[in-house]
Structure 1
Amino acid sequence: MGSKKMMIFVVGALLVCLSATGVLAEDPYVFLEWKVTYGTISPLGVPQQGILINGQFPGPKINCTSNNNIVVNVFNHLDEPLLFTWTGIQQRKNSWMDGTLGTMCPILPGQNFTYKFQVKDQIGSYFYFPTTAFHRAAGGMGMLQIHSRDLIPVPFDTPADEFAVLLGDWYNKGHKTLKKILDSGATIGLPNGIHINGQSGKVGSAPLTPLAIVEPGKTYRYRVCNVGLRTSINFRFQSHIMKLVEVEGSHTVQNVYDSLDLHAGQCVSVLVTADQAPKDYYLVASSRFSKKPLSSVAIIRYANGKGAPASPELPPPPPENTAGIAWSVNQFRSYRWNLTASAARPNPQGSYHYGKINITRTIKIANSRYQVNGKLRFGINGVSHIESETPLKLAEYFGLADKAFNYDLVKDEPSNDKKVVLAPSVVNATFRNFVEIIFENNENTIQTWHLDGYSFFAVAIEAGKWNPEKRKNYNLLDAVSRHTIHVYPKSWAAVMTTLDNAGMWNLRSDMAERAYLGQQLYFSVLSPARSLRDEYNIPLTQQLCGIVQNLPKPTPYS
């Protein structure tokens, strides 16, 4: 056989082998079809209109593996426009599918839209929820869990089973009533209770459907998310300790806790071993730093416990007030990235030395509240965001940004000016800059912030005012990479991240009332190359609306 023919034969054989082993195959797909409807739900025992997905509240669990392609065909059977966002999912180069009103046209009543995104290089516990109107107060949320691929070792033994736990505050007023209250310029006030997976239980009340049934001696993973509108929640297992193994997509040093604080929008995974006498036990969820104490319980049942009831004596909550904040801050500081664990990300844990990267920009964000013509508004550095008729991403992509918004109304430093501007809020960000964001909270309530499209290193939380000298207190070695950060009253928090994900990405308060009334902005992260290497083209099926509705799509990136 000639050398040229031999080479062709060898290459052909190699391609066959690679194809057989899956090297050339596309990453697996997960196909879902959702029918979104109204339905009667009673999380606190009071019937009200809720948002159901395929007849369920909470909605269906998205169970997938790192690098899977997720395809969700959403049929909107509500009487209002609808969008879903996938909180914490770093859609690389794909803010087209982020599901916020700044990036996408909403799905109109009676229509459908198919989301397509990849959970690229991620593992961990997340959730989805509706971002339109005030739909988050009506349900429509569910767990999104991403497992590690078989090739990526996990730093703990495979648990006997996993349980999704969505907990949060709840209002007995319907979502349309709450929206009218906000639109009228008032606050929705304090919630009425706490639910756990759409139910609220009390000690001594009617028997509850068990949240989990466990076998003696086995260890189980509980993925727990706070999907509420505003309230920080502490959760704990009666007579059992928890081993923390994951925070928002990062494996952690496996410390043991009696109870854990979980602020609005945050998720963790804990391992709990069924090592107590066989009977029922309570999972307890209670409010933190709230003027109105709230609590709920769920049942953890031992399979061989014959339904023996749980003890009415519940594990105590952490302290409140100043002592409680100190307790909670110390718990935050105990969270450490597991630098010895393998990871799904391109930069494996332990090799991304973020503490040695020079900061190129510092942005200080001060949350603030205002009265505008007698109506309540919230803002960031003097700007209260309002939604544009045209999604900001679309206006920018079509070269019509100047007709939809002005860049950089929000400055990098808060001012003492008490005036507020009501406008779409977009901050220009330099692609691949390493930025430091300081969140300052001058109010008397805890705040929580979330950034779409990224994880950031949560390097510090302290009381008082931030100044450059505070950087010496940063954790520059093993701070947890996550996508939310909470800020205690009269305190500050610092995070660091590389803005390497091109697109239009939402930074918002995770307190739903505040985000709805303007406490959010968008980072415009444009790639100078305008290349497919950095950002996907607009999908062929992307809905158009506003000033771009009937325009031809721009020349695709190459």
Structure 2
Amino acid sequence: MVRPATMTRGAAAAALVALALVAVARAEDPYHFFEWKVTYGTKTIMGTPQKVILINDMFPGPTINCTSNNNIVVNVFNMLDQPLLFTWHGIQQRKNSWQDGMPGTMCPIAPGTNFTYHWQAKDQIGSFFYFPSIGMQRSAGGYGLISVHSRDLIPVPFDTPADDFPVLVGDWYTKDHTVLAKHLDAGKSIGRPAGLIINGKNEKDASNPPMYNVEAGKTYRFRNTYDSLDVHVGQCLSFLVTADQKPADYFLVVSTRFIKEARRMVTAVIRYKGSSTPPSPKLPEGPSGWAWSINQWRSFRWNLTASAARPNPQGSYHYGQINITRTIKLSTSRGKVGGKDRYAINGVSHVDAETPLQARRMAPNVLTAEFRTFIEVVFENPEKSIDTFHIDGYAFFAAGMGPGTWSPQSRKTYNLLDTVSRHTIQVYPRSWTAVMLTFDNAGMWNIRSNLWERHYLGQQMYISVVSPARSLRDEYNMPESSLRCGKVVGLPMPPSYLPA
């Protein structure tokens, strides 16, 4: 006789708990683990051996390839002789400014120690990048690509490309980053860079093989993070290229814009499969003038008829139909402090404190924003040269830009329908740019110039977005693993938020 199985009430409860835990484990998004050893090394750049910041002996550093909502865990070993932080430019760090990697949100990783970052590419798709955020380390390398792909269930409005190519373009100075910092500290400008590089290389490195190999008839995706198609400093985009030309070698050309003296230019070779024909030495002239650049910016619009993922937090995709609750004007300036050059926002030049602002949430240049309010931010640039601004933790809608100073009448020129969501925007000389966003990501976030000389000399600030609910629904608790420095050393952890 077979007896039916029996289970006590306690055992049944335990089984239900076990099943629930299994369900949660299966439902959690995938993890990607990385271990980075950050060192100094020597690389030949622009034909000359240079001291470079390497990650696992690589420059640029390893590409982080992931899918939307994946969890990224990066264990960073700092083998430099200076403190180190990495910031993840364009990654919104939803509810998690503790991992943002700016000196105002995190204590640095001391030399000879390690720290593990844990962040999620929450609801994001696109091309982003990481870089060291302390001092002038960024000028010595240590940066790399973050490529966030869409999930299979979310369609994209184009066929899967045959390959995916990074195009990391940057300035390159032949002076050591510590020397550049000393120049700025002494009140001197670091001047123009010695040249440009693509993926850590320059055409002067004659032994370099072709950077990109393609086959006729196929389409390729290039992930660009600098000045191509008039993409400005700190901006990222990807574009499709169909290999429909005669099989040969071709140049990908990058040149500087808006400078009176001779342009800096760098090339990389795109080689068709089987090609033995070198690229034409005649390089095309780039477009000139501010009008062309502004018109191109206006031409970048969202295809509202395409089937694809779009930002839609609380309906903010319809940004033109939301009432503005507050306008914040951020005007840049340049002046002397103690006889030395400084840059400022609204008259305040930022200096990184010993204790991160995230631990204190107060300073002369920390703005506060009410949680989940829709705010218009206006950047004004009275200087004679272009600037670009980035807001950590957010993507925004760049609604308008124009010459002179902004006024409420400027709203009549806004694009309130289909402007592209982005995290970095240019501000032309003696001009303004207006962006709109919902401050729905609680935390402490850096607003900065992407021109690193200006950033280093104070043209940055922080904005504190606090949820009145103090709930884990809106912001994560300070991680137990957080590094301590300054005035918070030895202090207890802040009170934990309540579960959602």
- For the criterion TM > 0.5, the same-fold answer is yes
Query: 2:479 aligned with 1:539, yes or no?
Result: yes
Q: Whole-Å Cα distance in 1 between the matches of residues 397 and 341 of structure 2?
A: 33
CA distance in 2, matches of 1:102, 1:77: 22
SS in 2 for 1:383: coil
1:105 aligns with 2:107: yes
| Secondary structure class of the residue paired with 1:164 | strand
Q: Which residue matches 1:298?
A: 268
Task: Check conservation: 1:452, 1:506, Cα contact below 8 A.
Answer: yes
TM-score of the aligned structures, taking structure 2 as reference length: 0.93
Per the normalisation by structure 1, the TM-score is 0.84
Query: What are the superposed Cα offsets for residues 70-102 of structure 1, whole Å, 9 maximum, x if unpaired?
Result: 000000000000000000001111000000000
Alignment of 1:355-366 (within 5 A): 355-366=320-331
CA shift digits 1:3-29 (9 cap, x unpaired): xx9xx99xx99x979978x99421000
Deviation of 1:344 (Å): 4.9
Structure 2: distance between partners of 1:91 and 1:126: 13
2:406 to 451, 466, 480: 466
Q: State yes or no: 1:312 paired with 2:281.
A: yes
Please state how far the C-alpha of 1:43 moved relative to its aligned partner: 2.5
Distance 2:181 2:316 in 1: 46
Q: Secondary structure at the match of 1:216?
A: coil
Matched-pair contact (CA < 8 Å) for 1:395–1:548: no
Contact 1:122–1:345 (CA under 8 A) maintained in structure 2: no
**What does 1:128-143 align with in structure 2 at a 5 Å threshold?**
128-143=130-145
1:270 corresponds, among 232, 236, 239, to 239
Give % identity: 62
Match of 2:43 in 1: 41
Higher mean C-alpha displacement, 365-374 vs 31-40: 365-374
Q: Which residue of 1 aligns with 2:360?
A: 395
- Where in structure 2 are the equivalents of 1:327-406 lying within 5 Å? 327-342=292-307, 344=309, 347=312, 352-396=317-361, 401=362, 405=363
Matched, 1:209 2:178: no
Is contact 1:121–1:344 with CA below 8 Å preserved after alignment?
no
Structure 1 unaligned runs (5+)? Answer: 227-232, 236-259, 410-424
1:510 paired to 2:454 = no
**Match of 2:256, SS?**
strand
Aligned to 1:159: 161
Q: Is the 8 A contact 1:340 1:350 kept in 2?
A: no
Q: CA deviation at 1:30?
A: 0.6
1:185 Cα offset (Å): 1.0
The one of 244, 250, 253 equivalent to 1:281 is 250
Q: What is the alpha-carbon distance in structure 2 between the residues aligned to residue 157 and residue 121 of structure 1?
A: 21
Instruction: Write the distance in 1 (CA, Å) between the matches of 2:347 and 2:430.
Output: 19
Task: Return the alpha-carbon distance in structure 1 between the equivalents of residues 203 and 445 of structure 2.
Answer: 38
Cα distance change on mapping 1:343 and 1:543 into 2, 3 Å: farther
Distance 2:84 2:207 in 1: 36
Q: Which residue of 1 aligns with 2:222?
A: 222
How far the C-alpha of 1:395 sits from its partner, in A, is 2.3
Deviates further, 136-145 or 355-364: 355-364
What residue in structure 2 maps to residue 171 of structure 1?
173
Question: Which amino acid in the other structure matches residue 286 of structure 1?
Answer: S
Mapping for residues 402-421 of structure 1, pairs under 5 Å: 405=363, 409=364
1:194 pairs with 190, 193, 196, which one? Answer: 196
Shift of the 333–362 alpha-carbon distance from structure 1 to 2, 3 Å rule, reads same
State the alpha-carbon separation in 2 of the partners of residues 218 and 345 from structure 1. 27
Task: Tell me if structure 1 keeps the 8 A contact 2:171–2:195.
Answer: yes
- Return the alpha-carbon distance in structure 1 between the equivalents of residues 169 and 329 of structure 2: 31
Q: Alpha-carbon deviation of 1:291?
A: 3.4
Q: What SS class does the counterpart of residue 96 from structure 1 fall into?
A: helix
